[in-house]
């Protein structure tokens, strides 16, 4: 799949996420005026859902039509396509190194904490 399709897919995913979030926001706002919260396509698709859908759709439309945002998204997609991801062996080695270094640093910090506690107890009695 080429970069343009990934960018368009990301715009649609952002629109769907906006729909979900904004539908809940509009439902909360419309709870103050319950008579405005009507069934549009049955009890599972209310006025707040329609408003959230329209907000997400408008966001996708604005993102898709804005040449600067679209160009930046395509540049980001191009740069991400050039990333060389590590293989399984390299990932395993890096994870092992991180675990060992974390244990060593935690032992050093634990020693200094013990030393500071002992010194504080010694001074303040």
For residues 91 and 105, membership in a common domain is answered with: yes
Q: Is 39 helix (H, G, I), strand (E, B) or coil?
A: strand
The answer to whether residues 69 and 7 touch, using CB atoms and an 8 Å cutoff, is no
Number of domains in the chain: 2
In tens, the pLDDT along 26-37 reads 888 877 777 767
In angstroms, the CA 44 to CA 105 distance is: 53
For residues 36 and 62, membership in a common domain is answered with: yes
In angstroms, the CA 125 to CA 119 distance is: 9
In tens, the pLDDT along 18-61 reads 999 998 898 888 777 777 676 677 777 778 888 999 999 999 99
For residues 34 and 72, membership in a common domain is answered with: yes
Of 66, 69, 59, 64, residue with least CA distance to 19: 59
For residues 4 and 62, membership in a common domain is answered with: yes
For residues 32 and 51, membership in a common domain is answered with: yes
Beta bridge partners of 39: 46
For residues 18 and 73, membership in a common domain is answered with: yes
DSSP 89-115: HHHHHHHHHHHHHHHHHHHHHHHHHHH
For residues 77 and 101, membership in a common domain is answered with: no
Tell whether the model's pLDDT for residue 1 goes beyond 80: no
Beta bridge partners of 46: 39
List the domain range (segments joined by +) for residue 102: 87-125
For residues 96 and 36, membership in a common domain is answered with: no
In tens, the pLDDT along 67-123 reads 999 999 999 999 988 999 899 999 999 999 999 999 999 999 999 999 999 999 999
For residues 46 and 106, membership in a common domain is answered with: no
């Amino acid at each position: 799949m080429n970069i343009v399709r990934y960018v368009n897919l990301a715009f649609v995913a952002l629109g769907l996420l906006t729909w979900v979030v904004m539908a809940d926001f509009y439902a909360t706002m419309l709870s103050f005026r319950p008579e405005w919260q009507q069934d549009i396509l049955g009890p599972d698709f209310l006025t707040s859902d329609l408003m959230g859908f329209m907000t997400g759709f408008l966001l996708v439309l604005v993102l898709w039509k804005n040449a600067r945002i679209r160009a930046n998204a395509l540049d980001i997609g191009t740069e991400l396509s050039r990333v060389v991801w590590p293989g399984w062996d390299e990932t395993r080695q890096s994870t092992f190194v991180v675990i060992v270094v974390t244990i060593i640093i935690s032992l050093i910090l634990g020693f200094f904490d013990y030393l500071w506690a002992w010194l504080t107890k010694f001074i303040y009695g």
